[in-house]
Structure 1
Amino acid sequence: MFGLVGFDGDDTLWHSEGYFRAAHAEFEAIVGKYVDLADAGLHEKLLATEQRNIKLFGYGAKGMTLSMVETAIALTGERIGAADIHRIVGLGKAILEHPVELLPGIRPAVEAVAREHPVVLVTKGDLFHQEAKVRACGLADLFRRIEIVSEKNASTYARVLGEFSMAPSRFVMVGNSLRSDIEPVLRLGGWGVYMPYHVTWAHEMEHGIEPGHAPRMASVEVPAQIPGALSELRARVAG
């Protein structure tokens, strides 16, 4: 029997990546005034800059914005104007100020799971932004604990489980990222419910498991299927 169920935040409880994609499109339009985008390799260079900067800035809109400014300056040979740098900063502010929009059906799904198991929220990103999302989402009262972390890896999950005195084999993580939500938990000996979002940041696509090939993982398409996926995993434990 599972003793604890964790939920991811961004793109599992509420929409997130779509706002970043929209900002990227605006960023492309800004930089496109200075360079030929067909030859610039903009997306690859921005991703490389973001990944390099994660250790300094962490995840989220603030780190993305600083990486955009750095990439724009480098790609334009420092020709980009102050007004356009100001526009790039505005892209990040717009994400930080965007209202929280829950995924359709996620509230009843979390409520159903919470009736059967203690649930916790484990989300990563900028502390201020994630705290604001948690306050605005209307789901905080359902969670026994809310963990906002700088990275979601095996050591992070092990620490959380240790504070609950919970064996990994009794823990299930629900999330949209194989890299951050599922793979580290599986490596610890836990279980996962993978609910892919329709768009995913390229950084989160880098992982070592294949959907459907992990015996301790179930996949769902919509939140309403999460309780059934947990029942399926419980049956695997019993079997």
Structure 2
Amino acid sequence: MSARQDDLVRKVAAEFVGTAFLVATVIGSGIMATNLTSDVGLQLLANSLITGGMLVALILTLQPVSAAFNPVVTAVEAFFGGVSWRDAACFAAAQVAGGALGAVVANLMFDLDAISISTRDRSGSGLWIGEVIATLGLVIVIFGSIRSGRTETIAFAVAGYIVAAYWFTSSTSFANPAVTFARMFSDTFAGIAPASVPMFLAMQVVGAGLAVVLVRVLYPAATLTQTPESVPQPSA
């Protein structure tokens, strides 16, 4: 195996593992919260804080290898030339597969069926606008940090944004196609019905596209100083 192939395998593995832990955290903390309290506000607070904490840990740990955990972030990076489209496809596949595994593991940890298709409808124009805003903000936070040369702050910036976006966006900030897809497989607090997924994915793409425009406007002379694989993401 060549050095490049070895490096690609390591990055794909990091994306798989990181996204699996992220989804397991989103779903698992939601289940735990509903087991401990019937107060929906407290459930969301616990879910958001725990997800933010895990994001800090995962990004700091995997950033030296690859830590995007999000197909739209990887796609934006490829658009800016930070990674090849071929490698981006490998990362996205690993993110989706890792997310699905994370959902299964979360279900099993709480003695639920390994796969239980969610019945939680999340549709409506308000939620769709929320997903555009959630994804737009996340991509700006990540690439703004990268282009300004402050990659050491990304773990905290991303985690802080996601915790806030759980609360200020109507959709509770999925902002991640891999996580959105995985959350179909858990009929719990964090789940999303399959019929609601396509529009969420479409709005995430729209949000990422708008973010690309804004990043170019805000940082016109900047170039990527570090690839977001060494940075990340997700959401919840």
Asked which structure has the greater CA Rg, the reply is: 1
Quick check: TM above 0.5?
Answer: no
Q: TM-score, normalised by structure 1?
A: 0.29
Q: TM-score, normalised by structure 2?
A: 0.30
